[in-house]
Chain A
Amino acid sequence: MENLLKWCTDVLSNPTWFYLLTTIAKLVVVFAVILAFVVLSVWIERRVAGWIQDRPGPNRAGLPLFLLQRFGSKEEQPLKNLLRFLGCPPDGVIARLCRWLRFDREIPTFGLVQPCLDGGKLFLKQEITPSYVRKFYFILAPMLVLGPPLVSAAVIPFASWVQTPFGEINMCIANLNIGPLWIFAVSGLSVYGLTLAGWSSNSKYPFLGGLRATAQLISYEVAMGLSVIPLLMVFGTLNLQEIVHSQAESGWTLLPLWGQGLSLQRWLLCIPMFISFIMFATCIFAEANRTPFDMAECETDLVGGYHTEYSSMKFASFFMGEYAAMVIGSALVVTLFLGGWSIGFGADAALASCSEWLAVACQFVTFLIKLLAFIFFFVWVRWTLPRFRWDQVMKLCWLVFVELAVLNIVLTAVIIYFIH
Chain B
Amino acid sequence: MNPAISSLLFYIFALAALVSAIGVVSLRNPVSSALSLALCFGFVAAIFFNMGATFLGITQIIVYAGAILVLFLFIIMMLDVKNEEHATGNLGYAVVGVIVAGMLAGMISSASLQLPGATDGRCPWHAFTDAFCEQLSVDSCSKGNPVPQGDIQAPAPYGGSLPALNPEEQGSDAKLLGENLFSYYNLTFVILGFALLAGCVGAVSIGRRLRRD
Contact = CB atoms under 8 A, between A and B. Distances in A.
> Is this pair of chains taken from one and the same complex?
yes
Interface of A: 137, 176-178, 181-182, 184-186, 188-189, 191-192, 195-196, 198-199, 207, 210-211, 214-215, 217-218, 221-222, 225, 237-239
Nearest to B38: A192
Contact of B174 (A137, A198, A218, A238): A238
Interface in B57-88: 58-59, 61-62, 65-67, 70-71, 73-74, 77-78
Contacts of A217: 70
Contacts of B73: 192, 195, 199, 214
A189 B61 CA distance: 8
A189 B67 contact: no
Contacts of B31: 137, 196, 199
A192 B54 contact: no
Contact of B58 (A185, A196, A199, A210): A185
B132 interface: no
Contacts of A237: 172
Q: What are the 9 A-B residue pairs with the smallest beta carbon separation, nearest first?
A: A188-B66, A177-B172, A185-B61, A185-B62, A181-B58, A214-B74, A199-B77, A178-B58, A178-B54
Contact of A207 (B65, B66, B77): B77
Interface string B34-69: 010010000000000000001100110110011100
B143 to A, nearest CB: 16
A339 to B, nearest CB: 22
Contacts of A178: 54-55, 58, 172, 174
Given A181-B55, A185-B61, A195 B77 contact: yes
B54 A195 contact: no
B67 A188 contact: yes
Contacts of B59: 181
A219 to B, nearest CB: 10
A176 B77 contact: no
B66 A185 contact: yes
Interface residues of B, number: 23
B172 to A, nearest CB: 4
Given A177-B173, A178-B58, A181-B58, A221 B66 contact: yes
Nearest to A198: B77
B62 A211 contact: no
Interface of B: 31, 35, 38, 54-55, 58-59, 61-62, 65-67, 70-71, 73-74, 77-78, 167, 171-174
Contacts of A189: 61, 65-66
A171 to B, nearest CB: 20
Nearest to A182: B58
B141 to A, nearest CB: 13
Given A178-B58, A189-B65, A192-B38, 13 more contacts: A177-B172, A178-B174, A181-B62, A186-B61, A188-B67, A189-B61, A192-B73, A195-B77, A199-B77, A221-B62, A221-B67, A238-B55, A239-B172
B172 A215 contact: no
Contacts of B173: 177
A44 B2 CA distance: 46
A218 B61 contact: no
A19 B67 CA distance: 34
Contacts of B65: 185, 188-189
Given A182-B58, A199-B31, A218-B71, A211 B174 contact: no
Q: Which of A178, A191, A192 has the most B CB atoms < 10 Å from its CB? A: A178
B74 A215 contact: yes
Nearest to B29: A134
B207 to A, nearest CB: 14
A126 B70 CA distance: 32
A184 B62 CA distance: 7
A332 to B, nearest CB: 15
B62 A188 contact: yes
B2 to A, nearest CB: 9
A359 B165 CA distance: 38
Contacts of B70: 191-192, 195, 214, 217-218
Contacts of B74: 195, 211, 214-215
Nearest to B76: A199
Contacts of B61: 185-186, 188-189
